[in-house]
């Protein structure tokens, strides 16, 4: 079952309250998203760890309910 | 260790570059897997592709092995590098090329 973009954003923000989250519906089908997440929490973390933190926020939905979420993570520039 | 985990562990440790993917390097069955294949081919990196669609135990096992919920998954010299998004970001930043150089992976002349 697809997930609503607002639900994805809410779950990420619940785990990373300072995060700036931008979600694009890539195919317009509510099933293929691209998310950009910017958070202070990513500072000093490797990309794999940053993605793990977002996956943890999504509580197991990644790879299951959410099978197509392209993810970009970064710490704020300054 | 389960059988699947042993198989995975052996592949990861005995190949310099391994990609767990959907489909094969010749016929990727998913856009994300296909992107990583394209990047590796572009760089001329010899790699072994393992099609998780052929074995449900491997498909689930690789997610448990890396604690990473999606496929593809790229491993270099036994180290988990990331999925499609990370591989692409690293490639675009030149970091992937650096990683292969640092790990002593010889690149073939790309066609």
Q: What ipTM was estimated for this complex?
A: 0.80
Do B95 and B81 contact (CB within 8 A), yes or no? no
Of B56, B53, B13, the C-alpha closest to B33 is B53
Q: How close A47 comes to chain B (CA, Å)?
A: 7
Q: How far apart are CA B48 and CA A13, in angstroms?
A: 38
Strand order in the sheet with A32-38: A20-25, A32-38, A68-74
Q: Where are the alpha helices (DSSP H) in B15-108?
A: 31-43, 56-66, 84-92, 95-102
Residue A59: in which H helix or E strand, if any?
A: none
Tell me which chain A residues have a C-beta less than 8 angstroms from the C-beta of B68.
Answer: 48, 52, 55
**Residue owning tokens 């998004």:** B85
CATH number of the domain residue A11 falls in? 3.30.300.90
Task: Count Cβ atoms below 10 Å from residue B56 Cβ, excluding itself.
Answer: 10
Of A47, A63, A64, the CB nearest to B89: A47
Residues in chain B: 111
Pick the CATH number of B4-103 from 3.40.30.10, 1.10.1740.10, 2.60.40.60, 3.40.50.720: 3.40.30.10
Rounded to two decimals, the pTM is 0.89
Do A15 and A53 contact (CB within 8 A), yes or no? yes
Domain that includes residue A10, residue range = 5-74
Q: How close A63 comes to chain B (CA, Å)?
A: 5
Note whether B52 contacts A: Cβ–Cβ < 8 A.
no
- Average pLDDT score, chain A: 90
Identify the pLDDT of residue B109: 66
Note whether A51 contacts B: Cβ–Cβ < 8 A.
yes
Domain count, chain A: 1
pLDDT by residue, tens only, chain B of 111 residues: 578 999 999 999 999 999 999 999 999 999 999 999 999 999 999 999 999 999 999 999 999 999 999 999 999 999 999 999 999 999 999 999 999 999 999 888 655
Do B45 and B107 contact (CB within 8 A), yes or no? yes
For residue A43, pLDDT over 90 is answered with yes
Beta bridge partners of A21: A37
């Amino acid at each position: 079952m697809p997930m609503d973009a607002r639900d994805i954003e809410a779950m990420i923000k619940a785990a990373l309250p300072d995060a700036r989250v931008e979600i694009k519906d890539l195919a317009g089908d509510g099933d293929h998203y691209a998310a950009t997440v910017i958070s202070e929490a990513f500072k000093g973390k490797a990309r794999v760890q940053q993605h793990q933190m977002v996956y943890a926020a999504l509580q197991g939905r990644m790879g299951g309910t959410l099978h197509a979420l392209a993810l970009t993570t970064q710490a704020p520039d300054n | 260790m389960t059988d699947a985990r042993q198989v995975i562990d052996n592949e990861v440790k005995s190949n310099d570059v391994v990609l767990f993917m959907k489909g094969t390097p010749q016929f990727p069955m998913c856009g994300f897997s296909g992107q990583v294949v394209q990047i590796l081919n572009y760089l001329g990196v010899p790699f072994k592709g393992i099609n998780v669609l052929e074995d449900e135990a491997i498909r689930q096992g690789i997610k448990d092995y890396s604690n990473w919920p999606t496929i593809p998954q790229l491993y270099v010299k036994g180290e988990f590098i990331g999925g499609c998004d990370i591989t692409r970001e690293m490639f675009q930043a030149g970091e992937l090329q650096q990683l292969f150089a640092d790990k002593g992976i010889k690149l073939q002349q790309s066609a």
